[in-house]
C-alpha cells in the first residue's frame, strides 16, 4: 500500500509452484466440536500434482440467457464491456463481449430453451486455452470425462462439472485470443450508447466459484487434477451459524485458471449452497470473480450505472482497523462502498459481490482487488458465505 492508502495495480496470484509445497492430501481434516451460531474454519494447505498436459488459461466463458439484448445491455452499459461481434451457432444467437482479459459469449435462442427451463440463466462453457488440445482431450477422457464432439482439433469439447463443458482451444501462452471457432461471427455486436460506457475497470478473470452436490467434491477435483493438469491449492471447511460447506481450490500451473469448488455439508441445516443447487437444477457456476485495479472507484462507477451490490453491516467496519491495521486509512472508503477486506500471509485483498441480475438468481459476480494476497483465506470464504446469507434474508 502506498503512503496515500491507495492500493497498487493488481497482480495475478502466483501459481502454486511459487508456494511452499506441503504433503499431497485430498481429505478435509476431521471436524471438531461445532456449536450453532459460531463461525468455524479449518484449512489444510497442500499441493496436489496433476498430469503434465495442461490447460493454461480461460479462453472465454459462454453464458446462456433468456433475454439476449437485456443481458448484453447489463454487461455493456453497466459493467463497461465492449461488444466485439455478433454471430450464430446451431439455433443460438450470440454476442462476444470483451473487457481487459475477460471474454464472455452471451447467447440465446431456441437451442437454449431446454437448458434455461431446467437450470436458468448461467454458464454453460468455460473454454480452455491449451498448447495441445488433443492431448488435453485425451487426458480428460482417460480421467473419466466425456468427449462431446468429434475428433476435429478445432472443435474439441469435453465434459466439465454439472452441465458445464470445456471447449479446448489451441493457443500458446501469451498469444492473442481468437474468435470462438464454432460460431459464425458475421455481424458487429451491439454497443452501449456513445459516451455511456465506463472506462474499462475489469482487468482479468480472477476465479470461478463452482457449487456441487454433496459428496461429489473430491471426484470433481480429482478429474481436474488428472484430466487438465491442475494443482490442488488447499482445502477448507467453513461453518457459519447452522450451515457449513467444504471447499477446495484448484488452479492451472500457470495460475490462469482458478476454480473454487464448494459442496454443502448435508449434516448441517440447508443454506445458500443448497438453495443454489435447487435453483440451478444441480451443480454449476455460482459466480465469476473479476480482478480490478482499484475497487472503490470501480464500485462507485458500476453502481451509478445500475449494478446492484450486496450491503455490508456497518458493524463490520468497526473492528476492521483492529483486524487489519494497515487498512485504517481507507476504511471510510470501504464503508461507503460496502467493500469487504481480507488478508493472508502474502498481503491483502478487497472484494464485493453483486446481486444476481437473473430471475432465478443462478449467477452473480464479484469484484476483487489484490494487494499481494495469493490465496482465498478463511475470512474471504466466510465473507462470501455471509454476504449471500444477507442477500437471502433480503429476498426471502
Q: Are 124 and 89 in contact (CB under 8 A)?
A: no
Mark residue 253 as left, alpha or beta (left: phi above 0; alpha: psi -120 to 50; beta: remaining). Answer: alpha
State how far the Cα of 288 lies from the Cα of 209, in Å rounded to an integer: 6
* 207 among annotated binding-site residues: yes
Helices then strands (H, E): number in the chain?
10, 17
18: number of Cβ within 10 Å: 11
* 46 among annotated binding-site residues: no
The SS3 of residue 193 is: coil
* 366 among annotated binding-site residues: yes
State how far the Cα of 252 lies from the Cα of 258, in Å rounded to an integer: 7
State how far the Cα of 295 lies from the Cα of 321, in Å rounded to an integer: 18
Helices 378-395, 272-280: crossing angle, 10 deg rounding: 60
**From the centroid of its chain, how far is CA 52?**
24
Edge-to-edge strands, sheet with 258-264? 39-48, 231-240, 243-251, 258-264, 202-211, 284-292, 364-371, 347-353, 340-344
Q: Are 186 and 263 in contact (CB under 8 A)?
A: no
Binding positions for Fe cation are 207, 287, 366
Binding positions are 207, 287, 366
Amino acid at each position: 500500500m502506498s503512503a496515500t492508502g491507495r492500493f497498487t495495480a493488481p497482480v495475478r496470484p502466483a501459481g502454486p509452484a511459487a508456494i511452499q509445497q506441503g504433503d499431497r492430501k485430498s481429505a478435509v481434516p476431521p471436524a471438531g466440536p461445532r456449536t450453532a451460531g459460531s463461525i468455524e474454519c479449518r484449512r489444510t494447505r497442500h499441493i496436489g500434482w496433476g498430469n503434465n498436459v495442461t490447460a493454461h488459461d480461460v479462453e472465454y466463458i459462454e453464458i446462456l440467457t433468456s433475454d439476449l439484448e437485456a443481458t448484453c445491455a447489463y454487461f455493456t452499459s453497466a459493467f463497461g464491456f465492449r461488444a466485439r461481434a455478433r454471430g450464430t451457432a446451431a439455433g443460438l444467437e450470440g454476442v462476444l463481449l470483451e473487457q481487459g482479459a475477460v471474454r464472455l459469449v452471451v447467447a440465446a435462442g431456441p437451442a437454449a430453451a431446454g437448458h434455461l427451463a431446467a437450470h436458468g440463466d448461467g454458464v454453460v462453457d468455460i473454454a480452455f486455452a491449451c498448447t495441445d488440445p488433443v492431448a488435453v482431450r485425451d487426458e480428460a477422457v482417460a480421467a473419466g470425462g466425456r468427449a462431446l464432439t468429434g475428433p476435429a482439433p478445432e472443435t474439441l469439447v469435453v465434459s466439465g462439472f454439472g452441465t458445464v463443458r470445456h471447449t479446448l482451444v489451441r493457443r500458446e501462452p501469451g498469444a492473442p485470443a481468437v474468435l470462438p471457432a464454432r460460431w459464425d461471427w458475421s455481424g458487429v455486436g451491439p454497443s452501449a450508447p456513445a459516451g455511456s460506457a465506463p472506462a474499462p475497470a475489469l482487468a482479468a478473470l480472477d476465479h470461478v466459484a463452482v457449487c456441487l452436490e454433496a459428496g461429489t467434491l473430491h471426484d470433481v477435483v480429482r478429474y481436474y487434477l488428472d484430466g487438465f493438469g491442475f494443482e490442488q491449492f488447499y482445502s477448507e471447511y467453513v461453518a457459519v451459524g447452522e450451515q457449513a460447506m467444504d471447499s477446495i481450490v484448484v488452479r492451472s500451473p500457470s495460475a490462469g485458471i482458478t476454480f473454487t469448488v464448494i459442496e454443502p455439508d448435508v449434516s448441517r441445516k440447508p443454506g445458500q449452497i443448497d438453495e443454489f443447487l435447487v435453483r440451478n437444477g444441480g451443480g454449476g457456476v455460482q459466480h465469476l470473480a473479476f480482478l480490478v485495479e482499484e475497487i472503490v472507484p470501480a464500485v462507485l462507477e458500476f453502481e451509478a450505472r445500475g449494478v446492484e451490490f450486496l450491503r455490508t453491516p456497518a458493524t463490520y467496519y468497526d473492528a476492521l482497523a483492529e483486524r487489519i491495521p494497515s487498512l485504517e486509512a481507507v476504511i471510510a472508503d470501504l464503508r461507503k462502498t460496502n467493500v469487504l477486506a481480507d488478508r493472508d500471509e502474502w498481503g491483502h485483498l478487497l472484494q464485493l459481490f453483486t446481486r444476481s441480475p437473473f430471475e432465478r438468481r443462478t449467477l452473480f459476480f464479484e469484484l476483487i482487488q489484490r494487494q499481494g494476497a495469493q490465496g482465498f483465506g478463511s475470512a474471504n470464504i466466510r465473507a462470501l458465505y455471509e454476504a449471500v446469507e444477507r442477500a437471502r434474508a433480503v429476498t426471502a
